[in-house]
Amino acid sequence: MQLNQYIDHTILKPTVLISDIEKVCAEAIEYQFAAVCIPPNFIKKAKEYTAGSTVKVATVIGFPFGYSAVEAKLAEIVLALVDGVDELDIVINISAIKNNDWAYLANEINHLMPVIKQNLKTVKIIIESGILTDDEIIKCCQLYGAAGIDYLKTSTGYAEKGASVAAVQLFRKHLPADVQIKASGGIRDYAFAKELVDAGATRLGCSAGVAIVKGAAASGDGY
């Protein structure tokens, strides 16, 4: 298993420095990670630091709570596209899920998807599975699976519970086959990362990417 190719090397803390962005980009190139996931204001710098490599630049939209207006999320997406982003990790309105307002959520995704797809970018939808019921997760799989997204993502890493094997398995059972799964939140070691991949995750969002691939190497499983 080439675990490095599953990793979105992530730094999203509010105190992030330009030197931090340079470091994660250098690490992503060295270990051949799939992408770096960085705050929107650092997209241009990350594109500079990863130029000439296969590493994609991802950013977050509506992060971390998802309750900003649809128009605000759309503006964030447009600005990220202007700056050259490759992948967009969008937090949908978690409050709308908890209030059973699926019409709002359908309207939200229907307004966001066209501009992303017109620009041929990858879209990952974050639903914060750790604070949802199984029924809410299944409804999300149905709604976003039908919307044409590329990935459904478990977590922001800011809720009280992050990724779980059970959530990934539930995603895989209820998503269309062509929608992939990104697990994120609390992935700090190789053993857990491998469990998530074995359960069906094809991307892993984590700040501990280097430690994880070193753990993979130590286990004899390559990266």
User: Which three-class secondary structure state does DSSP give residue 178?
Assistant: coil
| Token representation of residue 27 | 């690490």
Rounded to whole angstroms, the Cα distance separating 205 from 198 reads 15
Q: Are 167 and 143 in contact (CB under 8 A)?
A: no
DSSP labels for 99-118? TT-HHHHHHHHHHHHHHHHH
Catalytic sites, residue numbers: 89, 153, 182
Q: Are 61 and 90 in contact (CB under 8 A)?
A: yes
Which residue from 164, 90, 80 is spatially nearest to 127, judged by alpha carbons? Answer: 90
